[in-house]
Structure 1
């Protein structure tokens, strides 16, 4: 095991999949020589070269449009939208093209696109750079929605997203980039649509996502130490597909 920051786990997760599969390419604003605006993609250009790690113009429509075209021709693109708020600029392509392509072609065309994006508030960015927009994607049939809370889940869920035949929106909460966690040193592949029980309790179930997961764990500790309340904590991890079986089981166990 090694300790990684959430930020470094992003780079390792992308590198793991690019090393495994030559069809995986990566594109976005300032992701190559600059290493990403949040410094999540350092070293990828040097390792994989400019043909597979491509800086783009400041155009979300161009980034997502290029990713859709690349996927239609057999590549597996990872596209970065710098802030999730900017998905509004390219939402027509995401919701009306990318999400529907496989169904409109009766499976003749698959759409293995991953859109990574920094999400959420708490980092003193402006109002147009601080929203949590997972709900936008949850309403569109054909899109999968993932939001990891730990470095290990970043790597494992990103691998699952890249290998999935459908488009996945991969939300990285900005306030988590500096957090640390232990990660196995070998290849890490997780499964979309699986929640994770982080703490088992008997009185109440707390379900949390992304940056709220460490807060839920802290709340559970406080409930136990100050009030004698035993709380289960479930990291939802994947909103679409949603692991209703795990959530309902844990809620049934505590009754709350």
Structure 2
């Protein structure tokens, strides 16, 4: 009977809180509302699963430690854009269908209604044209965020990205900053063919003057996009289409509007002692799944989420390799001249950590062919969890099936 009374009290209280949570544009406010719910459940000593607006999940409301907030990568990107536009009137968005259609992947949902067509600009299908306009605007101190429907289309605008944006600060002896973000989905998706599936991490990371970021989780997406918008230099922000709808646990700290991740700093997603697996973007998830499989075979893998491709966090990679004495790099891009090769040959490993290696470095990458359209061939062209498992086992001199 007491449990029923408590449940009714909870439901009545939630009626007051739930509407506010479901319509919140500020995720820091959402965190406060979820905190209220958590405290309410604790006081009433109710233990059951609660889901609010698809974002706040309490698997055991009676236990403080079990309160988990979930956010999709799409929501993380949207909230970061919203908060940065609210905080700085110089920030504006432009790209194909970012306004009325709210973005091809709904990343810009609600922003046109909130900030108007002066700051959320729909453009014609002319990447070279609107990218050039955005770079010119950045010369004068405003902060454009340019969305490409896919980074494959950035090839139409690469002259402005490389020659106009990346080189101007150096060519002007530091007199002109170019605070601009180029963002959009990068790499393989699902059945979109060779001209919509390429990974451009190594392409842009080879160019001095650019910073290149590749988020994996919602925390990455939110914190790194904020950092990119606030940065005085041009930033290439490589998202992944298949990650947009994935939900990740997120803390109150990350939901705070002041939250920002440092550019050039990687994150250890999983600690281990036997082998280091370094990856970025969607491949981080694959690496974590591989680590779970390896654990069953007695191999303790450490997984590094690179986050930043240029600059690379060389110190973290080296520290991990010196601990585990083995290294596997994972990327979905072409194998030649890729990020994995850069880590192996230039991330100070040859110079500083070579003597610590107990096995040759393993590089996992996509197939050296344009992306096939057929689903079975597409899967063969992109690294899979089992590929990472086999590579890690080889470095540990275990038998590979």
| TM-score of the two chains, using structure 1 as the length reference | 0.97
Q: Which residue of 2 aligns with 1:101?
A: 168
Q: Which residue of 2 aligns with 1:228?
A: 298
In structure 2, C-alpha distance between the alignment counterparts of 1:91 and 1:133, rounded to whole Å: 11
Q: Which residue of 2 aligns with 1:245?
A: 315
1:188-207, CA deviations, whole angstroms, 9 ceiling, x for partnerless residues?
21110000001111100000
Q: Shift in Å at residue 43 of structure 1? A: 0.5
Q: Which of 166, 181, 204 lines up with 2:248 in the alignment?
A: 181
| TM-score of the two chains, using structure 2 as the length reference | 0.63
In structure 1, C-alpha distance between the alignment counterparts of 2:90 and 2:273, rounded to whole Å: 47
Q: Shift in Å at residue 98 of structure 1? A: 0.6
Q: Shift in Å at residue 182 of structure 1? A: 2.5
CA RMSD of aligned residues (A): 1.0
**Does residue 132 of the first structure (1) align with residue 231 of the second (2)?**
no
Q: Which residue of 1 aligns with 2:278?
A: 207
- Greater share of helix residues, 1 or 2? 2
Q: Which runs of 5 or more residues in structure 2 are unaligned?
A: 1-30, 32-68, 327-401
Q: Shift in Å at residue 115 of structure 1? A: 0.3
Equivalent residues in 2 for 1:39-50 (5 A)?
Answer: 39-50=106-117
Equivalent residues in 2 for 1:45-60 (5 A)?
Answer: 45-60=112-127
1:223-256, CA deviations, whole angstroms, 9 ceiling, x for partnerless residues?
002x110000000000001100001100111000
Q: Which residue of 1 aligns with 2:91?
A: 24
Q: Shift in Å at residue 126 of structure 1? A: 2.3
Q: Shift in Å at residue 82 of structure 1? A: 1.1
Q: Which residue of 2 aligns with 1:123?
A: 190
Equivalent residues in 2 for 1:27-176 (5 A)?
Answer: 27-176=94-243
- Greater share of strand residues, 1 or 2? 1
In structure 2, C-alpha distance between the alignment counterparts of 1:194 and 1:63, rounded to whole Å: 31
Q: Which residue of 1 aligns with 2:262?
A: 191
Larger Rg: 2
